[in-house]
């Protein structure tokens, strides 16, 4: 039997336990995990640029024992990533389950034999929340 290749992508800005949980859970469900680290341009859907530069985010993700390979991902279009990487499982947080985009992934990937696997989203932390906390703390320091 051939290796099951998994793919998990994200911005991975202000790396936190939610990122680690996603990558660990993904690795437990495949033989070889590729993590796609989104470029600043691809991450623009967040409404702000990442704090940590791409080359540093890539290095942090690659350093994780649960990640076999980290690559630069320049698109939010997962089919483009599949064409580039050729993975068997796409890993996403379960906050995407039941959304129009999640349904589209399931439809598109079923046609090429790729399984979309939803992993538990770590509710209490996100890079957006961390960014907001930092902004509040910076404002308090200035006053």
Rounded CA gap, 71 and 42, in Å?
14
Which two tokens mark 20?
A: 């680690």
In order of 27, 33, 106, 123, 136, the CA distances from 90 in angstroms are 11, 10, 10, 20, 35
- The model's pLDDT over 71-88, given as tens digits with 9 standing for 90+, comes to 999 988 899 999 999 999
- The model's pLDDT over 82-107, given as tens digits with 9 standing for 90+, comes to 999 999 999 998 888 999 999 999 99
The pTM for the full model equals 0.85
Which domains occur in the chain, in start order?
5-142 (3.40.50.620)
């Amino acid at each position: 039997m051939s290796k099951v290749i998994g793919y998990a992508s994200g911005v991975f800005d202000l790396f936190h336990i939610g990122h680690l949980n996603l990558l660990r859970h993904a690795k437990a469900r495949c033989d070889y995990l590729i993590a796609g680290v989104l470029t600043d341009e691809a991450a623009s859907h967040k409404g702000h640029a990442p704090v940590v530069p791409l080359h540093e985010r890539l290095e942090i993700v690659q350093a994780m024992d649960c990640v076999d390979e980290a690559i630069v991902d320049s698109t939010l279009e997962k089919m483009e990533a599949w064409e580039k990487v050729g993975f068997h499982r796409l890993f996403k947080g379960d906050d995407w389950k039941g959304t129009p985009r999640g349904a589209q992934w399931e439809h598109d990937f079923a046609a090429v034999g790729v399984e979309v696997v939803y992993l538990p989203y770590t509710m209490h932390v996100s890079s957006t929340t961390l960014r907001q906390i930092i902004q509040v703390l910076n404002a308090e320091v200035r006053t």
